[in-house]
Amino acid sequence: MDALALEAKGAKTESAPAPAASKPRPKPPKKPKRIVYFEVEIVDAKTKDKLLLLDKVEPTATILDIKSMFHKSNQRWYPARQSLSLDPKAKSLKDEDVLQQLPVGTTATFYFKDLGAQIAWGTVFLLECAGPLFIYLMFYFRLPFIYAPKYDFTTSKHWVVHIACICHSFHYAKRILETLFVHRFSNTTMPLRNIFKNCSYYWCSAAWMAYYINHPLYTPPYYGEQQVKTALAIFLFCQLGNFSIHLALRDLKPAGCKMKKIPYPTKNPFTWIFAVVSCPNYTYELGSWLGFTVMTQCVPVAFFTIVAFIQMTIWAKGKHRSYLKEFRDYPSLRSPILPFIL
């Protein structure tokens, strides 16, 4: 009996269904990372007065975001007018700098400087170029009160004067079109007060050159037609080269992108000068004015070319130093503006 009972019990055990496998327990949700907010204090760089205290600023906020917050509290100082730095004597921080990547603690102090009223760089370029274009034409058409009354609305008897007017007008019309459709400015604004200095320089220089080139007593170049044609070829060649460099620089930096790249020669032969020069746009600009100087054989034009060369050399050297600082692999063979010289 006992044996039969044990066999019956074993059969029941074997026929009983196996217990279902236990389901894995769901993992507890990850706790969100704790955001460490910053406390930002804005202080006047001169008086050291506290201008604003921003609480709970996100660590990913940029300097431009902080400027916008500051602008909300004081409508007078819009972002382009503000300069924020970590020290009263330090350089201004870039708009794209991120708060958490700066050498500051969770309590950050920024020193504010008022840059004054600002104006867009594009507007500055348009005013600088439109002035010389129209001023030169006033002298070319000999409007009244410029020369003697008997010369009002007359034309010069020298054909080089007409070519010079076409070249001068072409140069500034080209610059206006480039400002509208080609150039991309890394700095969006400049102080409004600078526009008077810039425009005075370009406008007065154009008037000085135009007065002598279009003067009734103007004498043509010493070597005549051959000198004019050679200079015209130099001028046109350099104008085309300058335009090619501007296109190459525009294609190097897409719209809205602030990441800098090293410019290199492209398939365009006019860009091959990048192999030995950091700022060939200034090199071609200098060549254009040298050609215009030889074409007109005019002292004011020569003076303007010399001054322009000095200024462009300063700009080119600054750009060259910036390239060397930002790029470790920057080509060592390049010179700022003149190959192997300067």
Q: Please report, for the domain that includes residue 71, its CATH number.
A: 3.10.20.90
Task: Supply the pLDDT for residue 21.
Answer: 54
b/e burial code for range 78-117 (CB count within 10 A of at least 16 → b): ebbbbbbbeeeeeeebebeeebeeeeeeeebebbbeeeee
Counting Cβ atoms within 10 Å, is residue 67 exposed (0-12), middle (13-18) or buried (19+)?
buried
Q: Is the dihedral of CA 244, 245, 247, 251 positive or negative?
A: positive
112-121, 125-134, 300-309: least confidently modelled range:
112-121
Q: Specify the pTM.
A: 0.82
Task: Supply the pLDDT for residue 11.
Answer: 47
From 183, 209, 235, the end of a domain falls on 209
Do 153 and 254 belong to one domain?
no
Beta bridge partners of 111: 43, 85
Do 234 and 205 belong to one domain?
no
Q: What is the rounded distance in angstroms from the CA atom of residue 332 to the CA atom of residue 10?
A: 91
Do 332 and 225 belong to one domain?
yes
Provide the angle, in degrees to the nearest 10, between the axes of the packed helices 194-213 and 299-326. Answer: 140
Do 236 and 193 belong to one domain?
no
Do 127 and 101 belong to one domain?
no
Do 226 and 342 belong to one domain?
yes
In a domain, 308, yes or no: yes
Do 234 and 335 belong to one domain?
yes
The answer to whether residue 244 scores a pLDDT higher than 80 is: yes
Do 75 and 178 belong to one domain?
no
Task: Supply the pLDDT for residue 223.
Answer: 93
In a domain, 128, yes or no: yes
pLDDT cut 70: percent of the chain above it: 89
In a domain, 23, yes or no: no
Do 321 and 225 belong to one domain?
yes
Q: What is the rounded distance in angstroms from the CA atom of residue 142 to the CA atom of residue 161?
A: 12
Could you report the per-residue pLDDT of 197-243, keeping only the tens digit for each?
999 999 999 999 999 999 999 999 999 999 999 999 999 999 999 99
Do 172 and 240 belong to one domain?
no
Give the residue, 80 or 256, on which the prediction is more confident. Answer: 80
From 116, 144, 179, the end of a domain falls on 116
Q: Where does the pLDDT of residue 252 fall: very low under 50, low under 70, confident under 90, or very high at 90 and above?
A: confident
Beta bridge partners of 119: 190
Q: What is the rounded distance in angstroms from the CA atom of residue 270 to the CA atom of residue 248?
A: 10
HSE of 170 in the Cβ direction (CA atoms, 13 Å)? 16
Do 178 and 154 belong to one domain?
yes
Do 73 and 43 belong to one domain?
yes
Element (H, E) at 42: strand 38-44
Length of the chain: 342
| Domain, as residue range, for 252 | 221-342
Per-residue pLDDT averaged across 113-119, rounded?
90
Give the residue, 339 or 18, on which the prediction is more confident. Answer: 339
Task: Supply the pLDDT for residue 255.
Answer: 67
Could you report the per-residue pLDDT of 256-294, keeping only the tens digit for each?
666 788 999 999 999 999 999 999 999 999 999 999 999
The answer to whether residue 8 scores a pLDDT higher than 60 is: no
Could you report the per-residue pLDDT of 14-60, keeping only the tens digit for each?
544 555 555 666 666 666 667 778 899 999 999 989 999 988 888 88
Q: Are 142 and 154 in contact (CB under 8 A)?
A: yes
Could you report the per-residue pLDDT of 147-177, keeping only the tens digit for each?
999 999 999 999 999 999 999 999 999 999 9
Task: Supply the pLDDT for residue 37.
Answer: 85
Number of domains in the chain: 3
From 116, 141, 162, the end of a domain falls on 116
In a domain, 131, yes or no: yes
